[in-house]
Amino acid sequence: MTTTEIKIAALRQAAASSPEYAAITPLFVALFDYISGRELQSGITIDLSGINRLERSAHGFPLVSPAELSLDRELLTSFLAGVVRVLEQQGSEGDEELGRIAGALSAGEIDPQSLLVAILERRRAPLEEASAKLGVPAPLLEYIFEIPLKTALEQCAAAIPADAFPDWHESVCPVCGSRPGMAELAGEEGRRQLCCSACFYSWQFKRLKCPSCGCEDTEQLSYFTAGEGATRVDTCRACSRYIKTRDKRRGGGDVPLEVEDLLTIHLDLLASREGFERGK
């Protein structure tokens, strides 16, 4: 099975075993169904052939920068149009807003490269400007453009060995520079790994350290659980941020962390009620 097929199977299994997931899984299953078989047709190519991995990581820079992105605008536009169709079919947002985005893509009124680079570099201004021009919410526009970018980044990261960055101690991904989406504890000693929110590459990180602000004061670091699941919420009172952490020793390791993140949205709600924000 491909990684995308594994995600689909995990979501369907969750929906079948727990009725509370039935409301949230159809959209993501539909999106992954659309991506399945099109992983290499996103219109985004990432070429790392000329990159010195050791040199970049030694200086604290991720492998992928905007210079490594190549776009096939026709293929990318087609892929994005398909994503919009899936969202329209699932009724996830207003048809009018999705229609504006689809129309702008078809008419060439959106510069995809500037938006993709902005997402990769975590810059809000280009997204805000484009969304204001189209009259659509910036988060919706970002979400749509993230899908082909993440698809391409995940394919890129999948070709990089798990032990490729033994000296990387940064709180951002060594492959694409994105923030971690979740963390995981594995092995008898519970070694901690952070998992990228964009390319889903995992790397080692200090167990007692906040990925958001770097705090190592144990009096500021804590966690809470809810129910019997393997995933908990690690919190930092120094910056009021949190990250969800799955203890692989307690099971669930066969479920991709991207899916685990979706299936533990109740923990995000609990963290928010306690005054914590997701790490950025």
pLDDT of residue 226: 87
The runs of H, that is alpha helices, within the chain are 3-17, 25-35, 53-58, 73-90, 95-106, 112-120, 125-134, 138-158, 257-263, 265-273
For residue 87, the tally of other CB atoms under 10 A from its CB is 24
- Asked whether residue 273 falls in the same domain as residue 210, the answer is yes
Nearest by Cα to 142 from 172, 169, 112, 170: 112
Looking at the structure, tell me whether residues 186 and 146 fall in a common domain: no
Co-location of 154 and 184 in the same domain: no
pLDDT attached to residue 93: 54
Structural domain range at position 105: 38-158
Classified as helix, coil or strand, 49 is coil
pLDDT at 13: 92
**What pLDDT is stored for residue 190 in this prediction?**
86
173 in a structural domain: no
b (16+ CB within 10 A) / e for 242-265: bbbbbbbeeebeebbbbbbbbbbe
Rg (the chain; Cα; Å) = 19
Q: How far is 246 from 186, CA to CA, in rounded Å?
A: 9
Note whether 145 and 48 are same-domain residues: yes
Residue type, 36: S
**Is there a single domain that holds both residue 141 and residue 235?**
no
Quick check: is 143 in a domain? yes
Pick out the chain residues at pLDDT < 50.
none
Per-residue pLDDT, 227: 80
Question: What's the pLDDT score for residue 59?
Answer: 87
Q: Which residue has the tokens 């929906």?
A: 15
Q: Are strands 202-204 and 231-236 parallel, antiparallel or unpaired?
A: unpaired
Give the global pTM.
Answer: 0.94
- 54 and 147 both lie in a single domain: yes
Q: Which residues contact 105 (CB under 8 A, 6 or more apart)?
A: 77, 80, 81, 84
